[in-house]
Amino acid sequence: MSLSRLSTSIADGVLVLPNGKITIMRPAADYDISALPRDDVMIAQGFYPDFASWNDAGYRVTGKAKPADIAIVVGYGVHSLRVCIDACGETQFTMQQTGEANESPDVGKPAWHCSALP
């Protein structure tokens, strides 16, 4: 498994997440979250094959997102943005992945959109 942008950003010190419970919304079964503290992570996944894979890997998994201090939304498009907006109302810090690593030739294109709420 190659490192995701999330794990690479955390490992390189580019991204420092606040302390607290983390809900990761809609990650595929092969999405790398190795840089996150397992005890603080809850996977919210409605697609059963991915739900089962995360569960088999020993993560806490739910079909519907639970309130958390940090929300990480994995996905693209309007539906993902709607999930991200909903998450912002219940978290202190919300991140949405906005593109694949090789999706755009634009070096300046952000990999993540982050919102820290007061």
Domain ranges of the chain: 5-102+109-116
Chain mean pLDDT for the chain: 74
Confidence of residue 97 (pLDDT cuts 50, 70, 90): low
* CA 48 to chain centroid: 18
pTM score of the predicted model:
0.70
> Of 101, 110, 104, 113, which Cα lies nearest the Cα of 2?
101
What's the confidence (pLDDT) of residue 87? 59
Please check whether the domain covering 5-102+109-116 is classified as CATH 3.40.50.150: yes
Mean pLDDT throughout 90-115? 48
Query: Rounded distance, CA 63 to CA 76, Å?
Result: 19
Phi, psi of 10 (to 5 degrees): -70, -45
